[in-house]
Amino acid sequence: MIRRNFRTLSVILLLLALSAVIYGYTRNHQPSGKEVYKTRLVDRGDVIQVISANGTLTPLELVNVGTQVSGTVAKIYVDFNDQVKKDKY
């Protein structure tokens, strides 16, 4: 008798739990029938893209730079990335 009551109670609790799960799923996943769109005014701006990668950079062409005469450099009239022209100094 106790076993039969326990089995009946277990089945009822299982059915209640299953019903609660099905109800919760269908309530949260019903299609609303109306599509939701986000709109924004058109404006101009910069496109920012960030790329992060590991590796080694290799040049397409390797150039060796050297001097034609030997000696000590007394003064440098330009800095790194300065634009230079022929016969300026």
DSSP string over 23-66: HHHHHHT---SS--------------------S----SS-----
Please report where in the chains the tokens 């001097």 appear, as a residue: 67
**Model pTM greater than 0.85?**
no
CA distance 80 to 89: 16
Q: What is the pLDDT of residues 16-69, one digit of tens each?
A: 999 999 888 877 766 666 777 888 898 898 888 888 889 988 888 888 877 787
Predicted local distance difference test score (pLDDT) of residue 54: 92
